Chain A
């Protein structure tokens, strides 16, 4: 069972909270700060950070789904 991250980019409000929670998994576009997904299938050691990102994203734009 692996976990996959989904980012609903049109919903993103560029708060950058995902980058603070999981900098290995998320980054931001230079032109407007909108989130970029760096790792669609992050390793186990990164999942706590991704769960934090899911919890703090103000736009509810991030999901962690089981594959």
Chain B
């Protein structure tokens, strides 16, 4: 999510540029192969293979603006650098990779673009509801949401778009409940989220979408200041009242939680289903088992395999770092594409095979380091309920079109499908 926000505010900092022949540096990001929509771009995997062969896991890539940050290709260095305090998530730092043109004066997404200690202070204000026990306590309510939506689907038109009928409503309803946002406003926030996370949105358009959401959530925080309940927005309002948080910071935090809370999980539900329908032997495992361990393992493997945050995490280096025999200088940028970290054959044998029974728990689909996804326990639980329920309730579920006709989100900061026509 950080890369989205990094494109909406401030002006481009001066980046350190290493001397290198322009034509030897590959452009980034790279396109996926149309026939392998579930795999990372072939050119990206080739860079990783070359890096493993040559023992040089960091290699330069060229961005749209001509800058040439380091691409971190292997799992081990990805984890090491994302957890290194000399690596900054602050997009105003020199060398921070700009992933798209920026607009002036746009709003950010709060603490995901900050470093500790301020990052930790702000993050800790919203971590409590995502604790394992709190999330587990929500499981029956999520199960009911999933069951009710499946009932509606079965009673409605067939075929149907799974994204609209199921994949988007499930996490939207859950995060609305947690935050205290009225679900009736879902068209408004889903629409603005789509603009935010589309990497071809114009900078002004993206900044306007962030402003719309921040204004909306800022108003809700204001209402809770006057009339608190037990939801997360009220918790933020209380911090504002106590002077620990500005109203603006509370709104930005709420934007982050609302956007990240529904869009990413929705993509995992729809893209995960498309993947399973194309891997019938793996789908059969979920359809024929009610073992929670198998379902939990399937969630981890699908997170590893699909790694929907597919544009690489952006970071700036604040002090020289020696790593794997290479030197990264202060003021240089890093791009960490976790989708190939999760396909690193040194960590995950036969990495391009989807194997729901493998132990994939060490994947980096949620990132790594202090910025690792805050909502991951909730995302995991939602996906466990969904993958453990949908295919058992609708065992004849199938694609209502050829996979080649499914519109994949090649244009998004977060990967997924725009629509998934299914029948049963």
Query: Which residues does A use to contact B, with CB under 8 Å?
Result: 11, 13-17, 19-21, 23, 28, 30-34, 52, 55-56, 58-60
Q: How far is the CA of A52 from the CA of B362 in the complex (A)?
A: 9
Interface of A (DSSP majority class): loop
Q: Apart from A13-B127, A16-B131, what are 18 other A-B pairs with CB-CB below 8 Å?
A: A13-B123, A13-B372, A14-B124, A14-B127, A14-B130, A15-B372, A16-B130, A16-B132, A16-B377, A17-B376, A28-B132, A33-B130, A33-B131, A34-B124, A52-B361, A58-B370, A58-B372, A59-B369
> Is B353 an interface position by the 8 A CB rule?
no
Q: Which of B124, B128, B134, B367 contacts A58 (CB 8 A)?
A: B367
B361 touches A56 (CB 8 A): yes
Q: Which residue of B lies closest to A35 (CB)?
A: B131
Map CB proximity to A onto B121-146 as digits: 1 under 8 Å, 0 otherwise: 00111011011111100000000000
Q: How far is the CA of A21 from the CA of B134 in the complex (A)?
A: 17
Query: Which residues does B use to contact A, with CB under 8 Å?
Result: 83, 120, 123-125, 127-128, 130-135, 361-362, 366-370, 372-374, 376-377
Interface of B (DSSP majority class): loop
A20 touches B132 (CB 8 A): yes
CB distance from B158 to the nearest CB of A (A): 37
Q: List 22 A-B contacts (CB under 8 A).
A: A13-B127, A13-B372, A14-B124, A14-B131, A14-B374, A15-B376, A19-B131, A20-B132, A20-B377, A21-B361, A28-B133, A32-B127, A32-B128, A33-B128, A33-B134, A52-B361, A55-B362, A56-B362, A58-B366, A58-B367, A58-B370, A58-B372
B132 touches A59 (CB 8 A): no
Q: How far is the CA of A33 from the CA of B131 in the complex (A)?
A: 5
Contacts A32-B124, A52-B361; A58 near B130 (Cβ below 8 A):
no
Q: How far is the CA of A27 from the CA of B276 in the complex (A)?
A: 34
Q: Which residues of A have CB within 8 Å of B132?
A: 16, 19-20, 23, 28
B83 touches A60 (CB 8 A): yes
Q: Which residues of B have CB within 8 Å of A23?
A: 132
Name the 5 nearest CB pairs between A and B, nearest first. A58-B372, A14-B127, A33-B131, A33-B127, A16-B132
B370 touches A13 (CB 8 A): yes
A30 touches B370 (CB 8 A): no
Q: Which residue of B lies closest to A55 (CB)?
A: B362
A13 touches B120 (CB 8 A): yes
A58 touches B368 (CB 8 A): yes
Q: Which residue of B lies closest to A60 (CB)?
A: B83
Q: How far is the CA of A33 from the CA of B188 in the complex (A)?
A: 31
Residue among A11, A13, A23, A55 having the largest count of chain B Cβ atoms under 10 Å: A13
CB distance from B81 to the nearest CB of A (A): 12
Q: How far is the CA of A56 from the CA of B124 in the complex (A)?
A: 20
Residue among B124, B132, B372 having the largest count of chain A Cβ atoms under 10 Å: B132
Q: How far is the CA of A28 from the CA of B124 in the complex (A)?
A: 12
Q: How far is the CA of A17 from the CA of B133 in the complex (A)?
A: 12
B83 touches A58 (CB 8 A): yes
Q: Which residue of A lies closest to B125 (CB)?
A: A32
CB distance from A26 to the nearest CB of B (A): 9
Q: How far is the CA of A15 from the CA of B55 in the complex (A)?
A: 32
Q: Which residues of A have CB within 8 Å of B369?
A: 58-59
